Chains A and B, each alone.
Chain A
Amino acid sequence: MKRRNFIKFTTISAILFSTNISIAKNIPNETLLVLDEVLNIIFPKTSTMPSAKEFKALEYLIKNISHKTFDNEDKTLILDGTKDFIGSFPQFLTLNEKEKKELIFESIKDSAYAKSWVSKITYYGIEAMFSNPIYGGNFNQIAWKSINHAVGIPQPLKTYGQKI
């Protein structure tokens, strides 16, 4: 294993260790690595917006994908789509950043399935970006701050509408 990937595996393990979600722990590490890469291609750091890594998109996904309100078909599309993508492009993680980006951009042009898969990841990336940080994304309200978003008041103290 290349050192860079080893470091990334360590990061993923840290996220998994911090969550008690059993199903998330059953997601293969390679799937998580690919999802992490894809999220960062969809949401790169720009002069105005934070990257997926900065707003912790993968952490959000892992923390919430097994919740009972998470759409089952979406979950299947995200996880099976990633597995299928790995099956089609087993070398993906070894490519350089530019090659990875080109591959994702080409895939959504060429394949309706890939487009649907990336679209779904993009949607949940947006949830991670703009949801309350108690859900695990939008770290330190970084995305809200980037767009000067006026949040609704009061903000939630508990997730998923649990009673106080």
Chain B
Amino acid sequence: MMYDVCVVGSGAGAGPIIYELSRAGLKVCVLEKGDIYNEKDFSKDEIVVRKAIYTPDLKDEYHTIEEFVDGSWQKFPTYETGWSFWNGNLLGGSSNFMSGFFHRLKPNDFKLASTYGVPKNSNIIDWAISYDELEPYYAKVEELVGVSGEVQEYEFLEPRSTKAFPYPALAENKIVDLIDNSCKELGFKSIKTPRAIISKQKNHRNSCYYSNYCGSYACSSGAKGSSRASLIKDALLTNNVTIIPNAFVIKLNTDKNKKIESAAYLSLDGNKKEIQAKLFVVAALAVETSRLLLNSKDENFPNGLANNSGNVGKNFLSSSGGIVSATFDETNMNLKDLLEAGVFVNRSLMDWYFTKEFKAGTIDILFEHANPIRRASFLRWNGDDLIIGEELQNKIFETFTKTRTLNIEIFTDWTPNDDSFISVDEKYKDKYGIPVANIRIGTHPQDMIASKFLEEKAIKLFEKMGGKNIVSDISTLPSSNLQAGGCRFGNDAKTSVLNKYCQAHEISNLFVTDASFMPTGGSVPFTFTIYANSFRVADYIKDNWKNIII
């Protein structure tokens, strides 16, 4: 069968495409690497999140991470370290597991080079579109995917076409009073964190029920705005969507006209199959998207698909920053209130998103995850000393019954540079014999400057709140759940892979709609912007369908 559209992946970059194009009457085939799960399959299992259940076993399918060690770049397979860059192989992808911190990018994020100039040894460029072009789609995501919160004035609040979020803010732990009062005393402005979690029912999706295990866990009520729950389920009602699960796409094949004619994939039993379509949309998560294009070599594209310009894989982005944590107890507030489970903290500080001198970033505040295994496992250490016996047991009891840890997550821009890219290397192959993605993770010095700047603010806030055991872990290592870049969009085919509509410059029936298109990532998690951009691209495809598939 010839489909109208073949979508590789089903996460945040794919969901809007599947939703919009199927509703427009196009026949859409989705090739998802993982299985299909439904709300009833998800539970709050303490073990599952600590194992490779929704991601491949790294011994079978891994990446290599290229780090600068002893004066040279060296590759380390992730099966040696357990540092997984897979984020969720299942219908809906990693959007099932996100925390759903949905901050929009700010207008100046779209013109960072113009605003701050281009630092030496960086590849910062302005975006091919402005904030105004994306704004209607942010509003659409807030409505369709569902964002809860409260619009509050602050210096860098972005212009909005709607006055309020469609869903009221989620319930909060009383520690927010301590945060807000401390911020006020410091002259900081705390705002409620917008969340992609609905606070009231929407059709088949139930409202948030405060499960107590939210981030890292798939949602059992459909309240979390995963691509699966918020878009694909509705798209399936059109009867225009075919989902092929456990389909690992290994190559896109082109015809004599240099257009893609088919996607080759491996089924669960390892058999090679093909799907034909008029148009192909790749949204496999940035690292895997570049890998697929680079591995799709043929006579038309000897360096990989859409890569005759040599740009595929370049300018990989993540987020710099880290975590500052502090412990609170009954000396800070009523213990019963402090230990109240389920409800959120939902506070962010964006006072320093932009400074006069440089771009800083975002501070998000949240409790340490409620899964006790991770928390308790840290308690066995006191520095390098291993604690066992009665001392360990008492430490576990005292920590869990009398304290709670608050984390400040710091998000700063990852400055694109020549030493941050995705490539493939024939020497490193997965169990199917397919070259794996290599990720060189070189960072720019500016990222650490911005991170340390925000670290100081975070520590000040915790000190004002009376937090104890303030511990800081600031790093420019990438967050493996935040992947972007590799297929930049832009107006110049010599320096970018995609045009401003995320259509490949070199292949008219190829679009890329995950975070790969982003030239800079902003200082917030990417998912909101991925969704918004994918809706924008879907509109372009709908409006120009006949011209595109000629």
User: Using Cβ atoms and an 8 Å threshold, which residues of chain B touch A163?
Assistant: 35, 37, 41
Among B35, B44, B82, B393, contact of A49 (Cβ-Cβ < 8 Å): B393
Instruction: Quote the shortest CB–CB distance from A71 to chain B (angstroms).
Output: 8
Contacts A46-B390, A48-B397, A148-B401 given; 15 further ones with Cβ under 8 A? A46-B397, A105-B388, A122-B386, A127-B373, A131-B373, A132-B47, A135-B47, A147-B401, A148-B339, A148-B400, A150-B212, A152-B213, A161-B45, A161-B53, A164-B40
Which of A127, A152, A159 counts the most chain B CB atoms within 10 A?
A152
Contact between B48 and A160 (Cβ–Cβ < 8 Å)?
A: yes
Which of A46, A155, A159 counts the most chain B CB atoms within 10 A?
A46
Contact between B53 and A160 (Cβ–Cβ < 8 Å)?
A: yes
Say whether B342 faces chain A, with CB atoms less than 8 Å apart: yes
Question: Do A41 and B394 form a contact, CB below 8 Å, given A69-B52, A130-B376, A161-B54?
Answer: no
Among B37, B43, B47, B372, contact of A147 (Cβ-Cβ < 8 Å): B372
Say whether B396 faces chain A, with CB atoms less than 8 Å apart: yes
Contact between A69 and B51 (Cβ–Cβ < 8 Å)?
A: yes
Contact between B386 and A108 (Cβ–Cβ < 8 Å)?
A: yes
Question: Do A149 and B400 form a contact, CB below 8 Å, given A44-B390, A122-B386, A122-B392?
Answer: yes
Interface of B, helix, strand, loop or mixed by DSSP: loop
Among A43, A49, A123, contact of B377 (Cβ-Cβ < 8 Å): A123
User: Using Cβ atoms and an 8 Å threshold, which residues of chain A touch B51?
Assistant: 69, 160
Among B372, B376, B386, B396, contact of A119 (Cβ-Cβ < 8 Å): B386
Contact between B43 and A156 (Cβ–Cβ < 8 Å)?
A: yes
Say whether A157 faces chain B, with CB atoms less than 8 Å apart: yes
CA of A161 to CA of B59, assembled, Å:
20
Say whether B57 faces chain A, with CB atoms less than 8 Å apart: yes
CA of A152 to CA of B169, assembled, Å:
21
Contact between A147 and B400 (Cβ–Cβ < 8 Å)?
A: yes
User: Contact residues of B with A, CB < 8 Å?
Assistant: 35, 37, 40-41, 43-48, 50-54, 57, 59, 82, 209, 211-213, 217, 220, 339, 341-342, 370-373, 376-377, 380, 386, 388-390, 392-394, 396-397, 400-401
User: Using Cβ atoms and an 8 Å threshold, which residues of chain A touch B370?
Assistant: 150, 152
CA of A119 to CA of B379, assembled, Å:
11
Interchain residue pairs with CB less than 8 A apart (12): A46-B393, A48-B397, A69-B52, A115-B386, A126-B380, A127-B50, A146-B397, A148-B400, A149-B400, A150-B370, A151-B212, A152-B46
CA of A156 to CA of B54, assembled, Å:
15
Instruction: Quote the shortest CB–CB distance from A70 to chain B (angstroms).
Output: 8
Which of A101, A118, A163 counts the most chain B CB atoms within 10 A?
A163
CA of A154 to CA of B213, assembled, Å:
10
CA of A151 to CA of B372, assembled, Å:
9
Instruction: Quote the shortest CB–CB distance from A155 to chain B (angstroms).
Output: 6
User: Using Cβ atoms and an 8 Å threshold, which residues of chain B touch A155?
Assistant: 43-45
Say whether A95 faces chain B, with CB atoms less than 8 Å apart: no
Contact between A161 and B48 (Cβ–Cβ < 8 Å)?
A: yes
Say whether A24 faces chain B, with CB atoms less than 8 Å apart: no
Instruction: Quote the shortest CB–CB distance from A100 to chain B (angstroms).
Output: 12
CA of A115 to CA of B341, assembled, Å:
35
